[in-house]
Structure 1
Amino acid sequence: MRAKRTAGRNAGPEEEPGDLGRRVQNLRNERGLTQRQLAEPACTPAYISTPEAGRVRPPEAAVRHLAERLGVTYEELATGRPARLATALRLELVEAQRTLATGAAEDAAAAYLRLLAETDRDGLEEERATALLGLGHCALETGDLPAAREHFEAAEGLLADAPLPRRAPAVRGRAVAHLLAGELRYACYLLESAIDELNTSGLQDPGALLLLYTAAIAPYMDMGAHARAAQAGELALALAPRVSDPELVAGLHRSVARTLIAAGRTAEADASLAKAAEIYQQLQIRTELAHCHWMRGYVRAQDGDLSGAESELCAARDMLASKRASLYTAQVEVELADVLRRRGETTRAQELLHRLLGELHPDRGSVHAGGAHRLLGLIHEDRGELESAEEHYVTALSLLERAGAAGDLADICRLLGDLLRRVGRTEAAMDAYRTGLGHRASPGTTTLGPSPVRPPTA
C-alpha cells in the first residue's frame, strides 16, 4: 500500500489554489467585508484579490491572518473542513484504540477501516496514519503478519516528513511483525537503525527511545544476544522516569523480565511482571495482561512450580483465545505443552503440539514452531522412538536456523548430537555438536551492524 501524498501539509487530497480563494471570497461576502477591510492591517487589497482569483496559494502566515479576520480556524480555511471534523475523528480513533486494548481486535479493525476511509476522503494525513497504525496492531493480534507489515509501512510512508519520534511507533510495529514471522535479524536492524538515528540526530525523545529499546529486547533474546538485551533493558529503565505514558512503562517492565529470567533472577522477574500486570489491569489492556500471565507461567516453570505454571499459562491462553488472538494463543500453548510434558502428561502434550503445528509455520511463528518440534522430539526420544525424534530435531534445527535463534539452535544441536551418539553415529554427532558450539560461541553477531549507540542522556 503506497501512501497518497498531498500538495501541502494541510491541503485536502485534491486541493487547488482556487479552492482556497473561493472559501475566502464566500466567507468575506457572508460577513459583509470588502477586500480592503479583510486585508487590513497586514495586507493590501490587491493581496486579497490574488488568492480569491485562484492564481496562487498564499503562504501560511497570510492564511492564518485571513482565518483570524474571517473568524474561522486556520485548518478550516486552509482545508475547507470544519475544525470539529478532525476533533471528532480523533475521538473515534481513541475509542477504536480502547476497543483494541480490551482485546476485541476484529471489532477495532472494523472501526479503524471505517475511520481510514473517512480520513482518506477528508485528506486528514495525521489521523490517517493513526488509523493505519491501529490496523497494524489489529493484524498483529489476529496473526495476519503480511497485513500488519503493509499497514505499518503505509503509516511510516505518510509520516515520512515527520520527525523520527512521530514515526517510532510505525517502526516498532514493523519490527514486531518481522519478529513474529521469524525474521529476527531484520527486526533488530529496523530497531537499531531508528535508535541510532534518534541518538545521533539530537532527537533523543525519551518516549520514542523507551519504545524502541523495549522492542529490541525480544529479538535480542531470541537470537541469544543476552548481553545486548540486558543493555537495552538498562537503558530503557534509565529513561523510564522521564516517560509519563504508563503503558510504555508497563511494556518496559514486561520486557525486562525476560532478561532477568535469562540471568536466573526469577524473583526479580516475577516482581517486574507484577508491576506490569498491575498497570495493565488499571488500564484494562487485556491482551498485554495475558502476556504477563504467559511470562509468569514461564517463571513458575523455571522455578519447578509446574502446577502454578500451568495455571498461569491456561489463564493467558483463555484470555487470548477469547479475543481471537490466534498466533499468540498458539505460542502460549507451546509453553503449556512443555509444562504438560514435564508433568508426565505426554499424550495431552503431543496432541496439543500436533494441532499447533497446523497453525505455526515458517512464515508465522517459526521460533515457536521450532519449539514445538523440539518438544515432540523429546517426547519421541523418551519413548525410544529415536527415528521420529531425529526427524523433529532436524525440522526444529531448520526452522531455528532460518530465524537466527542462536540460543535455541545451540540447544537443539546438543539434543541432536546426544541422540546421534546414542545410536552410534559418532561422526554425525560431532558435526551437530560443532554446529551448536558455533552458535553458542557467537550469539547475537547475526545482527546487521554494531550495537546501538548509547544515548548521552542515559
Structure 2
Amino acid sequence: MLVGQRIKMVRRQRGLSQAQLAHPELSDSYVSLIESGKRTPTPAVLELLAEKLDCSLTYLINGVTAEQMQEIELALSYARMAMENGEVAEARTRYIELLADDRLAGLPKFRGDAEYGLALATESCGDLEEAIALLNRLRQDDSANMSPERHVALAVALSRCYREQGDLVRAVQVAEMILGNAVRPAWTNELMALGTQLLAAYIERGDLLRSRYFVAELLAAAELLGTPYALTLAHWGAAIVGVETGHGDEAVKHAERAVAIQSEFGESSRLGRLRGDYAQVLLAVRPMEAAAWRDMLVRVETMLSESSANPMDKMRCAVNLARAELLLAHPQRAGEHLQTVCAMLEGMPQALQGEAKLLSGQTFAELGRQQDASQELLEVAGWLEGAPATRQTAHWWLTAAQVLERIDEPERSVEAYQRALACVGL
C-alpha cells in the first residue's frame, strides 16, 4: 500500500472528507492528488497530515505503527545478539521469522539488514551455497539503494564464502572488482576488511609472492588511514603471511603489534579472541615454547569466562589449549580440554566441529585409545570429503593421515595422504 492509499484509508476511518482534512493549510484538490498517487507529499506535509489524522508519521510512511517499529527493531537486535554470542542456528531462525513478517515490505532498510544478517548466519551454519545465493540476491536487488558501506560489506562476506567453499577464482574476483583497478579507491575501514579477504584468498590459492606484495600495500594503507581497526587487520594479515611463508619472527612481530593495538583501543571480547589467535600463531612458529603459550591461553580462557565472549571464542581457546598440551606431551590434559570442547559442539560451524574432531582423534591416538581415535577420524573423513579443495583442507587431510599412520591403519593413511595431495593439485 502506498502513502496516498494509507492517508485515504485513515481519513475514511476518521470520517473526514478531503476538504475537512485539507482545511485550512492545504487544498482539497492537493489532498486528492496525494491520495491518488499523483503527488508526493513533502516531509512537512506528511507531518501535518499525520497530526490531523491522529496517527503516527511512521505509519503513513512505512505502513507500520511506532509500536510495531519498536517490535521489529527489538527482533533485529535479538537476532544480532544471537550471532554475537555464537548462537548461529538461533540467529538464523530469528532472521527467517523476521523476513516472514509482511510489515518489513515497507521498511527497506530493516529488510536489508535482516537479509544481510540471515546471509551471515547461514554462512556460520555451514550452508555456504545458500549464503552465497542470499548475498548475490542482495547485491542485485538492492544495488540502487545500497549504501557504499553495505556494498563493500556484501563483497567481504561473498569473497569469504567463496573462499570457504573452495571457489578461489570467484573469491578473488569479487574483491578485485572493487580493489583491482589501476588506481585503488581511497582506503577506508570497510575496504581494509575487503583487502584482508583478498589477501586470505591469495594465501589459500598458494600465491604467496603476491600475498607478500599485497600485505605490504595493506600495511602502508593502514598507516595512512591510522585507525586502530585498519592497523589491527593489516598487522594480523601480515602475521598470517609470515606464518605461511616461513618467516616466523616476522609473524610474531606483526601478531604482537595487532594485539597491542587491540589492547589499547579494542573491545575486550575481541581482544580475548585475538590473544587466543596470537597464541595459535606462536604454537605454530615456536612450538618449543609451548609451555609459555599454554600459560597465555589459560589467561585468555579466564578473560573470556569473565567477559561476554561468545561460545565460539571459548571453544577456539579450549581447542588451542588442547593443542598446547599435546605439544607438551600431556594428552590426558588435552583430553580434559576436549571434554569442554565437546560440550560446545552443537550449533557450531562445521569447520570448527571438524577441526575439534580431528584434534580429538590425535589425542586418543596419543593416549593409546586406537579404536576411539579410528572412530573420530572416520567422522573427520566424512566431513573432509565434502569440504572444498583448499590449502587448509589439505592440511587437515595431512594431519589425519599422520594420525592414521600412528594407529596402524596404513590403507586409510595412504588414502588420506592422497587426498591431501589432490587438494593442492598434486
When residues 413 and 24 of structure 1 are mapped into structure 2, their CA distance, relative to the original with a 3 A threshold, is same
When residues 21 and 274 of structure 1 are mapped into structure 2, their CA distance, relative to the original with a 3 A threshold, is farther
> Counterparts of 1:123 and 1:429 in 2: how far apart (Å)?
62
Q: Structure 1 residue 149: deviation in Å? A: 1.1
When residues 129 and 309 of structure 1 are mapped into structure 2, their CA distance, relative to the original with a 3 A threshold, is farther
Note if 1:440 corresponds to 2:382. no
Q: Structure 1 residue 303: deviation in Å? A: 2.6
1:326 aligns to what? 311
Does structure 1 conserve the Cα–Cα contact (< 8 Å) formed by 2:95 and 2:118? Answer: yes
When residues 9 and 131 of structure 1 are mapped into structure 2, their CA distance, relative to the original with a 3 A threshold, is farther
Q: Alignment partner for residue 358 of structure 2, among 374, 378, 391?
A: 374
1:176 aligns to what? 120
Which stretch shows the higher mean deviation, 221-230 or 343-352? 221-230
Note if 1:139 corresponds to 2:82. yes
Q: Alignment partner for residue 67 of structure 1, among 45, 48, 51?
A: 45
Q: Which amino acid aligns with 1:19?
A: V
Q: Structure 1 residue 25: deviation in Å? A: 5.8
3-state SS in 2 of match to 1:38 = coil
Q: Alignment partner for residue 388 of structure 1, among 372, 378, 392?
A: 372
Higher relative contact order structure (alpha carbons within 8 Å, sequence separation ≥ 6)? 1
Percent identity for Structure 1 against Structure 2: 18
Which stretch shows the higher mean deviation, 408-417 or 231-240? 231-240
> Counterparts of 2:276 and 2:4 in 1: how far apart (Å)?
45
> Counterparts of 1:302 and 1:441 in 2: how far apart (Å)?
24
Q: Which amino acid aligns with 2:316?
A: Q
| TM-score, normalised via structure 2 length | 0.66
Q: Structure 1 residue 417: deviation in Å? A: 3.4
> Counterparts of 1:354 and 1:133 in 2: how far apart (Å)?
34
Does structure 2 conserve the Cα–Cα contact (< 8 Å) formed by 1:250 and 1:280? Answer: no
Identify unmatched segments of 5+ residues in structure 1: 1-6, 87-118, 443-458
> Counterparts of 2:156 and 2:259 in 1: how far apart (Å)?
13
> Counterparts of 1:292 and 1:420 in 2: how far apart (Å)?
32
Note if 1:354 corresponds to 2:343. no
3-state SS in 2 of match to 1:441 = coil
1:93 aligns to what? none
Q: Which amino acid aligns with 1:352?
A: H
1:19 aligns to what? 10
When residues 424 and 64 of structure 1 are mapped into structure 2, their CA distance, relative to the original with a 3 A threshold, is closer
> Counterparts of 2:358 and 2:132 in 1: how far apart (Å)?
25
2:320 aligns to what? 335
> Counterparts of 2:36 and 2:253 in 1: how far apart (Å)?
60
* Deviations 1:273-326 (CA, angstroms, capped at 9, x unpaired): 8558746864x6333333322322222223315356445544544444332622
Does structure 2 conserve the Cα–Cα contact (< 8 Å) formed by 1:148 and 1:177? Answer: yes
| TM-score, normalised via structure 1 length | 0.63
1:57 aligns to what? 35
Q: Structure 1 residue 381: deviation in Å? A: 2.5
Q: Structure 1 residue 330: deviation in Å? A: 1.7
Does structure 2 conserve the Cα–Cα contact (< 8 Å) formed by 1:181 and 1:365? Answer: yes
Identify unmatched segments of 5+ residues in structure 2: 195-226
1:38 aligns to what? 25
Alignment RMSD, CA only? 4.9
> Counterparts of 2:151 and 2:22 in 1: how far apart (Å)?
50
